[in-house]
Amino acid sequence: MTIGVFMPQSLVRTGSGLVASLILVGLALLAPAITATAGAPPRAIELERMSSLIPDPGSAGLGAALVDASTARGFVVDTSLNKVETFTVAGDALSSTGPLTTGAALPLAAALDDQDHVLYVLDRSTPNRVVAIDVDPASATRDTVITAYPTGGDGGIRIEVDPVSHVVYVMNASSNDVTVIDATTGSVRSVATGKNPSDMAIDIGLHRAFVTSTDDASVTTVFATGSSTSALANRPRSIAVCGDTVFTTTDRPYGIHIEKYDSGMHRLTVSQPLASMPTKILPDCRRQVLYSADAAIGVPGVQMFRTSDLTLEGSTAEDYYSTLSTDSAGDRIFASETPRGAGSAVVMFQPQFSPPPRVERIGGADRFEVSAAISRGRFAPNTAVAYVASGTGFADALSGSAAAGGKGGPVLLVTKDEIPDPVAAELSRLKPRRIVVLGGTAAIAASVEAGLKAYSPAVSRIGGADRFVVSAAISASVFAPKTPVVYLASGANFPDALSGSPAAGRAQAPVLLIEKDRIPDAVAAELTRLDPAEIVVLGGPNAISQSVVDQLVTTKPVSRIEGADRFEVSGGISSQKFHDGAYTVYIASGATFPDALSGAPVAIADGAPVLLLTRDAVPSAVARELERLRPYRIVVLGGTAAVSNAVSEQLKGYLPD
């Protein structure tokens, strides 16, 4: 049992004192701006304790419980009594079925290949070896040793298996390496890691292992044909992987917390301080939750964090959990528990999520009702700013969504000559401290601007001779020089700019409009003022010509996100700029602009992409992106005239089970 010593529990619970303040401020400084999704829709997670099992009352330490969902068999290494116990899962009950004959004198850990039904046991005898056991109930050689592999390493402490490629990984703390065993061919190789490796996780999608070294403050990625090592600013301990996202625990520099990285080991966000160092972190990638186990006194046994932004979404009572695991179907959570005065136990939990995965619709009788409803569902009264744009023409407002998202305010739609009743009601509710009108009087009349003064003490207008001047002026009003990136989109049409706005908002960057074959003078001047580190061009050569890209390349690094149509571009933007996944995905019509225009600031606030589709179909590029993202929540923007009920029903197929 471990007692947390890095951060006093009373300090964490009360948040009082200078040290706690410094920890919170330090962690806030660590987190990049792109992860500021504190207002994301709440979710509560509970772990319902279904059953527990003490395999041997004399046990003082169990490893991870490994459960094959297809056979309902479970296995757990008893490190204190040097044996492997078996059990069955029948409904909500666990039943012991006795020890397994492994041929391992000193079993330390195990890994289960649930596809081939083979249990791999790490034997810490000298020399270290891995024993492979057939655990298929239907096999004629059930529960017998198939073969054994010498690891060639010293101090083996972890073992994992990729059940798709059937490759076994053994982490060796003394020899500072990982043994890679291909169970199909029988080949064995060694890959160097950092000094004294501390934990390991497997990415079964890309068939690679991630290994932490606390001593070297590094993560080594082991590929099929090689490896790479990334130095981190903070020394990692435990590690978990969800697709292109890596999670680590650390106690540096401002106390214990969880950090989220992309697969290139660039930090994306951090959690709030933890009271003690977790014993294990376990991801449920389908439901976008990261479980954190703890064995310290006075802290929750398990805490649940949302994977998108590491928001705490639930916790259990104090308990003493040394590790966590899930069954091969990913439906239930198993913890190894060592309570005081009792034998070590396997505990089975059923996660309960509220609300469950769902498809929502924000609709209305027209675009103005939809605009007001989108704002009402997301923005609180007394908001700092509300942007007002034309609901009949997109030209002046295209750059406004990213700006509104950057300022944390909505975009509300009006006609040229009046404020529709739903929007007036929403402005009355919001009571914004400031209202910004987007576009000139040809888009929104002076009388409407005057009428807006009834809802806010400060009303201003960002106008200009054309959409390009307005675009540059909107950017100049919000974004400071030296911005990391600028997005460029066609001013002749709306889809690319609207799909790009959530990505731009995530990076706190503007969307500037240009012509197909020319960068307008006002936009060129704004690019000079912004002096971005990178420029991203949205759309193919039919939207923005290659000659314009060639001109830009002479001044800045430039990349292009393109596709055969607006739907491929929409999917490509999401794939490239939301590569770490998304809890929420917004869906809008690619045929009209109003719903996506109003929805983009909300998507920015939620750290979510906006994907475009047709009224009656999910385009293949968008379907592929939804398959990749597997969001927990999908929000359809607009009524059935924009996105049909049939498509809304189809979208449910992209939610987790």
Query: How far from each other are the two terminal CA atoms of the chain, in whole angstroms?
Result: 36
Q: Which amino acid does the sequence have at 196?
A: N
Whether 88 shows a pLDDT value over 60: the answer reads yes
- pLDDT (average), residues 332-348: 89
Nearest in space to 584 (alpha carbons), one of 245, 260, 307: 307
For residue 24, pLDDT beyond 60: no
- Residue tagged 């739609």 (tokens): 413
| DSSP 8-state symbol, 4 | -
pLDDT in the model for residue 565: 97
Contact residues for 121 (Cβ-Cβ < 8 A; gap 6+): 77, 84, 102, 104, 107, 109, 110, 130, 131, 133, 159
Q: What is the pLDDT of residue 641?
A: 96
Kindly state the average pLDDT of the residues 453-466. Answer: 97
Residue 477: strand, helix, or coil? helix
To 10 degrees, what angle do helices 495-506 and 594-606 make? 10
| Segment 648-656 mean pLDDT | 97
**Is the per-residue pLDDT at 16 higher than 70?**
no
Has residue 29 got a pLDDT over 90?
no
Other Cβ atoms closer than 10 A to 525 = 14
Q: Percent of the chain beyond pLDDT 90? A: 88
pLDDT score of 31: 43
What integer is the mean pLDDT of 268-276? 94
Query: 8-17, 48-57, 416-425, 577-586: which range is least confident on average?
Result: 8-17
- The mean-pLDDT minimum among 45-54, 347-356, 387-396, 583-592 falls in 387-396
Distance, in Å, from the CA atom of 222 to the CA atom of 185, rounded to the nearest integer, reads 18
Residue pLDDT, tens place only, 128-166 = 999 999 999 999 999 999 999 999 999 999 999 999 999
**Helix residue ranges per DSSP H, 318-388:** 367-376
* pLDDT tens digit sequence for 47-83: 999 999 999 999 999 999 999 999 999 999 999 999 9
Mean pLDDT over the full length of the chain = 92
pLDDT greater than 90 at residue 4: no
pLDDT tier at 341, thresholds 50, 70, 90:
low
Could you count the other beta carbons within 10 Å of the beta carbon of residue 265? Answer: 18
- pLDDT band of residue 40 (cuts 50, 70, 90) is low
- pLDDT for 35: 34
Q: Is the dihedral of CA 634, 638, 643, 646 positive or negative?
A: positive
Distances (CA, A) of 160 to 78, 189, 224: 17, 15, 15
Q: How confident is the model at residue 252 (pLDDT cuts 50, 70, 90)?
A: confident
User: Which pLDDT value is given to residue 36?
Assistant: 33
Q: Which residues contact 197 (CB under 8 A, 6 or more apart)?
A: 158, 171, 172, 173, 176, 177, 178, 211, 212, 213, 220
Residue with tokens 């936009």: 523
The Cβ of residue 90 has, within 10 Å, a number of other Cβ atoms equal to: 10
pLDDT by residue (tens digit) across 482-524? 999 999 999 999 999 999 999 999 999 999 999 999 999 999 9
- The answer to whether the beta carbons of residues 323 and 280 sit under 8 Å apart is yes
Q: Which residue has the higher pLDDT, 171 or 8?
A: 171
Q: What is the pLDDT of residue 633?
A: 97
Q: What is the DSSP string of 252-281?
A: TTTSSEEEEEETT--EEEEPPP-SS--SEE
DSSP assignment of 591-654: S-SHHHHHHHHHHHHHT--EEEE-SS---HHHHHHHHHH--SEEEEES-TTTS-HHHHHHHGGG
pLDDT per residue as tens digits for the range 553-582: 999 999 999 999 999 999 999 999 998 889
Report the chain's C-alpha Rg in angstroms: 27
Q: Provide the pLDDT for residue 264.
A: 85
| Domains of the chain: residue spans and CATH | 47-354 (2.130.10.10), 358-654 (no CATH)
pLDDT value for 84: 98
Question: In this predicted structure, what is the pLDDT of residue 41?
Answer: 76
* CA distances (Å), origin 464, targets 54, 362, 403, 597, 650: 74, 32, 17, 20, 43
| Residue-level pLDDT at 581 | 84
Cα atoms in the 13 Å half-sphere on the side-chain side of 223: 6
